[in-house]
Structure 1
Amino acid sequence: MDLSSDSKKVSISGPEPANSDTIFPVASNGSKAAEVSSHPHNQRAMATIADDDDRLLVRIGYTPVLQRHFSRWSTVSYAISILGVLGSVPATFGSPMAAGGPATAVWAWFIGSIMAYCIASSVAELVSAYPTAGGMYYVTKHVVPPEHVAAWAWIIGWCNFLGQAAGVASLAYTISQMILATAVMHSSFAEGEPSFVPTALQTVLLAILILCLFGSICSFPTNWLHRIILWFAPINIIASICICIALLILTPNKQSATWVFTTVTDGSGWGSKGFSFLLGFLSVAWTMTDYDGTTHMSEETHDAAIRGPVAIRMAILVSGVVGWMLTVTFCFCMSDPEAIMATPTGLPVAQIFFNAGGKTGGSVMWFFVILVQFFTGCSAMLANARMAWAFARDAAFPFSEFWSKVNSITNTPVNAVWLVVIFCSCLDLIGIGSTLTIIAIFNITAPALDISYVAVIIAHRWYEGNVKFHPGPFTMGKWSKPINAIAVTWVCFISVVLFFPPTKPVTATNMNYAICVAGFIGLFSMMWWYAGARKTYSGPRTNDTIDMLPPEDPEAILSDYDLP
């Protein structure tokens, strides 16, 4: 079946619906319409379908309800901003430095970016075929045999939703830490100790306020979001370049290239520089994830089957280069590594900024880091809210009918946005009582999201002989299977590494509790499944697709549309 637009022709594989010439004629003015001429009572009945994207949604069983305003550039900007390297790299730079030194930070980012590109390409290929707000969760329906869809979709959907929610909560918490770190740097010091030290309660309350700001912005109509997000990526990239130049000019006593690119230490205490190097992948793993975030906006994007996958891959390339540039610059500017790593702010990069630019210059540079991290938080919440909306319309939540409503004023799923705000606030509240637990929850972000991706990839390959998959406009061709294999192998390997305690000897204070959180989530979701969810949840819900309707039932084709 060919879907045509004024700008290009997109071919969607699959069997043609019966009598397609009378079901979907194209009007002489170029608009799309569904007309049934074979039925005497419906000769003049018309069901307007806005564009090729909505035709595809109808074909795979969805009634289009959201408005499409995201263009090519706003989609690319969104994809880059959800990674937000200028905000995320400074927030996580301390982990690879502490674990394995400068060369670990530099080369872990380089290798991790290549692996992220393989995962992102695999994701892009699958979501190109089924560009819906559910992202990879919805793809499950079309790569798994019908009798197994519910169980697979339940696991993948919850992994994806919880991974994204943990990411949003961690972004708000990190922004709170960054703002309070600025306050610490501007406070007076007595005997090397700052007069202001933020408490856990202050950090959490500020994080919840930031989550509310995220929610307010994400509740805007799609056309407003399109205009706002257009600026996210340019500010991110330009600010990153300017900050790197400023730091290299202003920082005295820069480190040598030999120190930056070859020095690996055993900061983890595990007795192996090689293993300490592996622990350094935390920064790139936490930053370069949420690849399918762009696809969650598919139902609000023009030409989503093409622009979404292109934006995902472009974002990885741009973010990989910019992130590596930032990491190398920060390493060169580690003039006094021990003092910088022991900074009272808890964020080594903040100390690098203030050492180079003083309070004024450092604050200006740090402002842009916080701003970009805020952009990332808004983008991540937007993706999480659309995923929550898709999950709710499949009755996967309590009170799903309420959470799946689309606001009549903004034409966006506002209820789902505030579901995410409430859920992430509850996660951040844990930080008041236990810093260890909140860090463990944040650490689950990358493994949970990446596992949700590779699970679909594995299912696609495992069942491809039994389930007919119709590729989308973007496909990797002969490279698909080897790149899928690399992606799956890498995620399985790095997920094990990321669950290890970061330092040895292992104590209650430095234990990596992410594995405990993962185990609890897995146990809880399976108990919920067997307690009753399996009786009410059937996987991604769709209307009868056009391909499945008998030609003599034209009224059924029109049942989901507003007739003039």
Structure 2
Amino acid sequence: MDPRPDSKSDPTALSKPQAGVTSTSKAAEAAQRPRRQDIMATIQDDDDRLLVRIGYTPVLSRHFSRWSTVSYAISILGVLGSVPATIGAPLASGGPATAVWAWFIGSFMAYCIASSVAELVSAYPTAGGMYYVTKHVVPPEHVAAWAWIIGWCNFLGQAAGVASLAYTISQMVLATAVMHSSLADGEPTFTPTALQTVLLAILVLCVFGCVCSFPTNWLHKIVLWFAPINITASVCICIALLVLTPNKQSAKWVFTEVMDGSGWGSRGFSFLLGFLSVAWTMTDYDGTTHMSEETHDAAIRGPVAIRLAILVSGVVGWMLTVTFCFCMSDYDAIMASPTGMPVAQIFFNAGGRTGGTAMWFFVILVQVFTGCSAMLANARMAWAFSRDGALPFSGFWARVNPLTNTPVNAVWLVVLFCSCLDLIGIGSTLTIVAIFNITAPALDLSYIAVIVAHRWYEGRVKFIPGPYTMGRWSKPVNAVAVTWVVFISVVLFFPTVRPVRPENMNYAVCVAGFIGLFSMVWWYAGARKTYTGPRTNDIIEELPPEDPDDILSDYDV
């Protein structure tokens, strides 16, 4: 018979000491008290009980399993769609070696950031993600202000990402039309307008919204296929390109050729600009956490999926980058492609119109997967933010649809907001690009702000770790993550081309400044009087201590 208290009948059983333990020896105490693995196994059997202890009433259904969670984490990065869409920046600024090695280094740094995020969200797996963690890493008197800033950075950063994905898919579809309309001399007979691009992007957003409005059990079955298709298609496309492309570039050119395409007069600085692709792709680390209230064993499976997604995406993304560089038979001609996307030209050069379109179809398909996953995360963040009263008309956006048992209102809030962002593209390409460029720094800076707060207030605020912890490696990895984000954010805000003119200026820093100013003005104008931070019942209890080496010993991570 299990001597432990019945945790199902007694909600405080896990934190109560067992009666009759009188031995003073450490070994005897360890043998008599429940092991950490046993305690976490009990919590895994009742995820909703853990959510109640965190302070929220469970209202969503949990259908996401281990594999659908991993598939979701991989699909939100979507390297097969994201790498072709962003690789033009490092190729133009620094050449092939810049694209290859910037991705390699950036993936390692992304793993450090993701591990730091995973450690924090493991302790508090809620739909709010890192926004909610803020409540438990800063002093109570500062929670509201911190949560307000982190929440808005996270929501707006994700929204900009969703809008940019829809806009990119629109550009990809129209690029296909351009390639199929080309005459014998290569000149296209069709050139898409800004209005056509934006209207198609809004249609794509509506498709995202329809998918994200499905019940959670439907989403679980759909998302299961995202990662397998992504990985399988990536491998097949790499093989096809290497077989079909004539006159491939040499290994020396691919791995050592660094150019100064930025005009700044420095190959070193041009190399730094090459981190733009990996920074835009490897972000939204806490996206998986926003699905925590619909995931079984979220405190464990969420962090595991986050780290595994970075590893898989890092390898697959590097494989794709290297392959694309080998297949750039004519660098200048490919970079000057009428499609505006070098990889699309590589596909059509290798497979012709039929083969190139087939490969390009899977790129667009995976990008759609990424868009659906990103909108799911953004919608769940909007829902979590609304239930805490942080958005206008929060009561409406925080409603859960009784038919689907999902926050459908929050989904269409995101569709509406992202459509408004994309509409800006009709009047100003510079503005829309600046808004898209804010995605990575807004999200990454919101993550490291919570990490810094956790370390800064470590002695003043009691943080209860979750089942995933890095132990003694936590502080060094946190330091690397913070340093890297500060560094890469400066690069992301820097103009990518010199001489700097109004038409090539990087206005992302202006958008970031506007977001910061807007949120602070709104805060002091009245939000500070009504918003108090995450609205929870503060009843969370600390689990009995255990040796760090035992915490994850029974889990496949």
Q: TM-score, normalised by structure 2?
A: 0.90
Quick one: which of 186, 191, 194 aligns to 1:197? 191
Map 1:298-377 to 2 at 5 A. 298-377=292-371
SS at 1:501 equivalent: coil
Q: Which of 271, 283, 302 in structure 1 is aligned with 2:277?
A: 283
SS in structure 2 of the partner of residue 189 of structure 1: coil
Determine the structure 2 residue equivalent to 1:487. 481
Matches within 5 A, 1:69-88: 69-88=63-82
Does the 8 Å contact 1:393/1:404 carry over to 2?
yes
Kindly indicate whether residue 286 of structure 2 is the aligned counterpart of residue 292 of structure 1.
yes
Pick aligned residue for 1:150 from 123, 136, 144:
144
Kept in 2: contact 1:116–1:288 (CA 8 A): yes
Structure 2 counterpart of 1:388, from 382, 385, 388: 382
Task: Establish whether residue 516 from structure 1 lines up as the match of residue 549 from structure 2.
Answer: no
Q: 1:235: which partner in 2?
A: 229
**Percent identity at matched positions?**
85
2:122 to 125, 128, 150: 128
State the Cα distance separating 1:5 from its structure 2 match. Answer: 10
Residue by residue, what CA displacement relative to the aligned partner does 1:224-246 show, whole Å, maximum 9, x if unpaired? 00000000000000000000000
CA distance in 2, matches of 1:352, 1:264: 20
- Separation of aligned partners in 2, 1:383 and 1:215: 12
Aligned partners of 1:472 and 1:544: how far apart in 2?
17
C-alpha deviations, 1:397-440, integer Å up to 9, x for none?
10000000000000000000000000000000000000000000
- Checking the alignment, whether the CA contact within 8 Å between 1:166 and 1:441 is kept in structure 2 is yes
- Following TM superposition, the consecutive aligned residue runs of length 4 or more in structure 1 with deviations greater than 4 angstroms are 2-6, 12-19
Does structure 1 retain, via aligned residues, the 8 Å contact 2:7–2:14? no
1:412 to 406, 418, 423: 406
Q: Is the 8 A contact 1:13 1:471 kept in 2?
A: no
The yes-or-no answer on 1:402 pairing with 2:396 is yes
Partner of 2:58: 64
Query: CA-atom RMSD, angstroms?
Result: 2.2
Q: Tell me if the contact between 2:121 and 2:130 (Cα under 8 Å) persists in the aligned partners.
A: yes
TM-score of the two chains, using structure 1 as the length reference: 0.89
The match for 1:560 is none
Shift of the 159–505 alpha-carbon distance from structure 1 to 2, 3 Å rule, reads same
Q: Does the 8 A contact of 2:127 with 2:384 survive in 1?
A: yes
* Residue 264 (structure 1) aligned to one of 255, 258, 267: 258
Aligned equivalents of 1:304 and 1:492: distance in 2? 29
Contact 1:13–1:472, Cα closer than 8 Å, also in 2: no
Matches of 1:3 and 1:414 in 2, distance apart?
40
Contact 1:76 1:312 in 2 (8 A): yes
Task: Specify the alignment match of 1:533 in structure 2.
Answer: 527
Distance 1:3 1:362, change over 3 A: farther
- Unaligned ranges ≥5, structure 2: 20-42, 543-557
Contact 1:82 1:379 in 2 (8 A): yes
1:498 paired to 2:492: yes
For residues 24-43 of structure 1, give each alpha carbon's deviation from its aligned partner in whole angstroms, at most 9, with x where no partner exists: xxxxxxxxxxxxxxxxxxxx
Among 229, 238, 261, the alignment partner of 1:244 is 238
The AA in structure 2 aligned to 1:402 is F
CA distance in 2, matches of 1:398, 1:515: 26
Q: How far apart are the structure 1 equivalents of 2:309 and 2:7?
A: 26
Deviation digits for residues 273-322 of structure 1, max 9, x if unmatched?
Answer: 00000001010000000000000000000000000000000000000000
Q: Which stretch has the larger CA shift, 180-189 or 296-305? A: 180-189
Cα offset for 1:267?
0.3
Q: Is the 8 A contact 2:5 2:13 kept in 1?
A: no
Q: Specify whether residues 530 and 336 from structure 1 end up closer, same or farther in structure 2 by C-alpha distance, changes over 3 A only.
A: same
Q: Would you say how many aligned residue pairs link Structure 1 and Structure 2?
A: 516
- TM-aligned CA deviation for residue 192 of structure 1: 3.5
Q: Which amino acid aligns with 1:118?
A: C
1:120-169 C-alpha deviation (Å, 9 max, x unpaired): 00000000000000000000000110000000001100000000000000
Structure 2 Cα separation of the partners of residues 235 and 377 of structure 1: 15
Cα distance in structure 1, aligned partners of 2:14 and 2:263: 56
